[in-house]
């Protein structure tokens, strides 16, 4: 093993909410043991499944979220399982669980019951709303987390595009995975503290709070001006309507334009590009010289005129021409791609981003995202695919407990 967390032992007792946290640690080299009841983690019941046939070892969602882990069956309702859990916890550096607050402690198996006796243990609890407060016992799905946390209200369409359109939930377990990323940050910080003091601690990770911290301008606008931002098609929510960022190109695809000539050097290059094709002749007028006058979202007539001319220019070119031409002029512009187009981009291949895993019902490897970041000294490594249910029970018990 070569990851930066090699040597750490982690117990992962999670379902759909918390499973990514263990994966991130496992992919960085930690020995992550997924503790599962005899019927398996609830995450194994989340589709899609290989050939649309459900089964504990056929969930593609599980395959992705559980690489590099080992699976051990422990029945916490049986005396033997309780003893095994306590023994494994005593050998662990980190425990990650996403049970309801107090659920494990009611049977003497939670952080309040076990962690105080193990000074160095770091225990991370990932829950919808945290361990305390009036919502602590409330239930939530990924969608509920995004709704109550704020991100959903900020995503959707302009009223002019889709009158009466509701908020939009982003897919991809964004609420769950945001909570897990924050949980891992907390765990790594706790590890730094333990390195200095020898003391572990309890990390209380709330999906609600994690999602709320990602609402960008939403919270500052409310705190400072008591304004709610409004949803906008394909661009940031804002306190007032801003000019569109999506523009239809000549080939029927959309180009996404983030800013136009925010500095005078790039503005000069953009003007020359437009004018070489017969667009934007008026942009040489002095009223366009100040960056603030031509920036979208400020309500100036110059900004509206710049965006109008930009839209005409894009309509006369392919989306790829606009994207690459904008990038050449140091602009954050891109093409709105379908998943198939994004997956076919050679940039992923050049970066070595993809990895391939296999499992029950699929001998040919399935392509999935690989390393989320690259380490120069401790490379990311796919040591094993997601485990089959109970695949490593005997192996782990022998390693950890003898």
Q: State the Cα–Cα distance between residues 278 and 328, nearest whole angstrom.
A: 19
Starting at the earlier edge strand, list the strands of the sheet with 122-127. 69-73, 31-36, 9-13, 94-97, 122-127, 202-206
Question: Is 386 in contact with 66 (CB distance < 8 Å)?
Answer: yes
Active site residue 236: yes
Catalytic pick among 65, 171, 181, 236: 236
Task: Give bridge partners of residue 52 from the DSSP assignment.
Answer: none
Question: Is 220 in contact with 213 (CB distance < 8 Å)?
Answer: no
Q: State the Cα–Cα distance between residues 253 and 337, nearest whole angstrom.
A: 8
- DSSP string for 218-273: HHHHHHHH----B--BTS--BSS-----EEE-TTS-EEEEE-S-SSHHHHHHHHHH
Q: Tell me the chain's radius of gyration from C-alpha atoms.
A: 25
Q: State the Cα–Cα distance between residues 182 and 190, nearest whole angstrom.
A: 12
Q: State the Cα–Cα distance between residues 365 and 359, nearest whole angstrom.
A: 8
Question: Is 65 in contact with 44 (CB distance < 8 Å)?
Answer: no
SS3 299: coil
Pairing of strands 362-369, 354-359: antiparallel
Going from the C-alpha of 375 to that of each of 65, 202, 391, the distances in angstroms are 20, 28, 29
Q: State the Cα–Cα distance between residues 393 and 75, nearest whole angstrom.
A: 12
Cα angle for residues 255, 212, 296 (degrees, 5° grid): 35
Question: Is 217 in contact with 230 (CB distance < 8 Å)?
Answer: no
SS3 199: coil
- Which amino acids are annotated catalytic? 236
């Amino acid at each position: 093993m070569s990851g930066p967390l090699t040597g750490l032992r982690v117990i992962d007792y999670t379902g759909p909410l918390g499973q990514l946290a263990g994966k991130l640690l496992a992919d960085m080299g930690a020995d992550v043991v997924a503790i599962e009841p005899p019927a398996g983690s609830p995450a194994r019941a989340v589709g899609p499944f290989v050939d649309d046939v459900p089964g504990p070892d056929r969930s593609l969602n599980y395959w992705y979220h559980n690489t590099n882990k080992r699976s051990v069956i422990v029945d916490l309702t049986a005396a033997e399982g309780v003893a095994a859990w306590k023994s494994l916890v005593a050998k662990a550096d980190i425990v990650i669980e996403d049970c309801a607050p107090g659920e494990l402690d009611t049977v003497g198996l939670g952080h309040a019951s076990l962690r105080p006796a193990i000074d160095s243990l770091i225990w991370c609890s990932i829950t919808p709303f945290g361990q305390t407060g009036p919502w602590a016992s409330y239930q939530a799905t990924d969608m509920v987390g995004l709704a109550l946390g704020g991100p959903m209200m900020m995503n959707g369409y302009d009223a002019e595009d889709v009158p009466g359109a509701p908020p939009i939930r982003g897919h991809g377990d964004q609420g769950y995975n945001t909570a897990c990323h924050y949980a891992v940050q907390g765990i790594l910080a706790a590890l730094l503290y333990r390195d200095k003091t020898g003391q572990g601690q309890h990390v209380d990770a709330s999906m609600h709070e994690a999602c709320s911290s990602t609402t960008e301008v939403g919270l500052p606008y409310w705190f400072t001006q008591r304004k709610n931002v409004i949803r906008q098609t394909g661009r940031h929510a804002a306190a007032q309507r801003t000019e569109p960022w999506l523009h239809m190109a000549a080939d029927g695809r959309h180009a996404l334009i983030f800013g136009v000539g925010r500095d005078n050097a790039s503005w000069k290059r953009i003007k020359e590009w437009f004018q070489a094709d017969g667009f934007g002749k008026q942009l040489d007028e002095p009223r366009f010289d100040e960056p603030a006058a031509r920036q979208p979202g400020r309500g100036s007539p110059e900004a509206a005129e710049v965006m109008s001319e930009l839209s005409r220019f894009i309509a006369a070119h392919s989306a790829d021409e606009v994207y690459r031409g904008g990038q050449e002029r140091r602009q954050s512009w891109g093409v709105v791609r379908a998943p198939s187009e994004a997956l076919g981009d050679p940039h992923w291949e050049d970066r070595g981003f993809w990895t391939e895993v296999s499992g029950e019902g699929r001998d040919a490897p399935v392509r999935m995202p690989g390393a989320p970041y690259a380490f120069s000294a401790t490379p990311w490594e796919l040591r094993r695919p997601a485990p089959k249910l109970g695949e490593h029970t005997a192996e782990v018990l022998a390693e950890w407990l003898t």
